[in-house]
Amino acid sequence: DSTLSDLKDKIKSYPDFPKEGIIFRDIFSILRDPACLKSVIDLMVAKIEKLKWNDVDVIVGLESRGFILAPLLAVKLNAGFVPIRKKGRLPGVCKEIAYTLEYRSDVLEIQEDSINQGQRVLVIDDLIATGGSLGATCKLLKGLDAKVVGCLVLLELDQLEGSKNVDAPVESLITF
Ligand code: 5GP
């Protein structure tokens, strides 16, 4: 199995993508390798169990790369999967929140009936940078009276201290 340092070494970095001054960390360079993909999921499950975050009803994944990891983890944890998407892409009554990303601002939405009051939720994304996306997500979930046990990401850009902008515990597998 791949270790965390093997995984970190495999992440390809693209300077000036999607705009100048941003170093984009590409998780697809690890997901395309079958052994690495399995290790990512196994290591995330081990971390969730160690944190005692495994007793959840729902795993929430953020569009788009959170949609890859969240359902794989939901199957392992016997939880459901609920998407948070950019505005205008989910049918039915949605709750929305405006947020600022590392390189743009946007609006996130969740279907109002997707989570019941008091349900335990774990939030998954590929990466935390400024924490804008996860911070907005936690606010949105708290507005539905969900209990956010925590947020787990594959990569954390730790100089940005994004977890300070999130009103829930944030954990990561790999830090840059
Ligand atoms: P934040 O809201 O924490 O500033 O930015 C995190 C969000 O932007 C995540 O949803 C993530 O997918 C995306 N993102 C920002 N920078 C990167 C990057 O370098 N690599 C990847 N894979 N995603 C990024």
The pocket around ligand 1, CB under 6 angstroms, is made up of 24-25, 27, 62, 65, 101-102, 125-133, 162
User: How many whole angstroms from 116 Cα to the centroid of ligand 1?
Assistant: 28
Average pLDDT per 10 consecutive residues for the chain, totaling 176 residues: 91 95 95 97 98 98 98 98 98 95 83 98 97 96 98 96 97 97
**Per-residue pLDDT, 103:** 63
> Given this model, what pLDDT does residue 52 score?
98
pLDDT of residue 102: 59
CATH code for the part of the protein at 51-175: 3.40.50.2020
Of 25, 32, 49, 65, which residue is the catalytic one? 65
pLDDT at 33: 96
List the residue whose alpha carbon is closest to atom 5 of ligand 1.
129
Q: How many CB atoms lie within 10 A of CB 48?
A: 23
Name the 3-class secondary structure at 117. Answer: coil
**What is the predicted ipTM?**
0.97
> Three-state DSSP class for 136?
helix
Could you state, in order of their start, the residue ranges of all structural domains in the chain? 51-175
- Output the CA–CA distances (angstroms, integers) from residue 3 to 29, 40, 44, 73, 124, in the order listed: 15, 9, 12, 18, 20
5, 24 Cβ separation under 8 angstroms: no
**89 included as an active-site residue:** no
Residue 65 is among the residues annotated as catalytic for this protein: yes
Model-level pTM? 0.96
- Please state, in angstroms and rounded to a whole number, the distance separating the CA atoms of residues 95 and 98: 11
> Under DSSP, is residue 16 helix (H, G, I), strand (E, B) or coil?
coil
Q: What is the DSSP string of 48-111?
A: HHHTT----SEEEEETTTHHHHHHHHHHHHT-EEEEEEETT-S-SSEEEEEEE-SS-EEEEEEE
